[in-house]
Structure formats: structure tokens, C-alpha cells
Structure 1
């Protein structure tokens, strides 16, 4: 998945969406969502919460 990809999404396809935040010289984090495309639209397979967790 990228801005130059012209392939239409079709039922049965599986892909990931991986936004990330990076701080130079410190590190970063990437959140990965797995998605399955159904006849009715996308089905999110990832169930992990996205709320900020401070440990």
C-alpha cells in the first residue's frame, strides 16, 4: 500500500497498515494493524488497544 499503487482492493486481500512515530537519536514506535478485505469492506484483525500506556 502506497501512494503510487493503483491496484484496487478486492475481497480476500490481506494487508497491514503501519504508521510510525520516530524521534531522531531517541527511537520510535510503529503500530501495525492487520486488515482483511471482505465483500462488505475492510475487517480489522488486530484487536490490541491503541490507548497510550505508560509503563
Structure 2
């Protein structure tokens, strides 16, 4: 199986992708107040893929998610 080389997320700031990089090999520690995306993806070779992205802030107690969209697959939930 082919390996898709993507991180799980990244910092949000002046550049599109900046530290911290949310990947296993990152040496950059997450700190309270960091604004990051969390965007896991699923890819099928020869078909394509999808990423579901949340943006939020690292807090003293975890993560404050700024994303308000539902995860429902029912179109009626978006009306």
C-alpha cells in the first residue's frame, strides 16, 4: 500500500502551514494558546481522499474547537 505523507495538522498564523506540525516526528511542543488545525485524512489509492478539518486552540485543559459544523451525513441537518 502506498504511504500518504501528510501530517495530522499544523499551526495557524501568517503562513498557510507553520509550526507546530502535528506529526509523530515533530520536535515542536504544543503550548497553551497555540492555534492549530486538526485534519486527519483517509486516502484510497486510485480513488482519492478526504480530510475533515477542525481549527481550535490549545488550552490548559485540552483543546477548544472553533469549528461549529456538524459531522452528520444527513443533509437535513444542514438546513
TM-score between the two structures when normalised by the length of structure 2: 0.55
The structure showing larger relative contact order (alpha-carbon pairs under 8 Å, at least 6 residues apart) is 1
The structure 1 segments of at least 4 consecutive aligned residues displaced by more than 4 Å after TM superposition are none
Question: What is the number of residues matched between the two proteins?
Answer: 54
> How well do the aligned residues superpose, as a CA RMSD in angstroms?
1.9
The unaligned stretches of length 5 or more in structure 2 are 1-21
Structure richer in helix, relative to its length: 2
The alpha carbon displacement at 1:51 in A equals 2.1
TM-score between the two structures when normalised by the length of structure 1: 0.71
Distance in 1 (CA, whole Å) between partners of 2:74 and 2:24 is 31
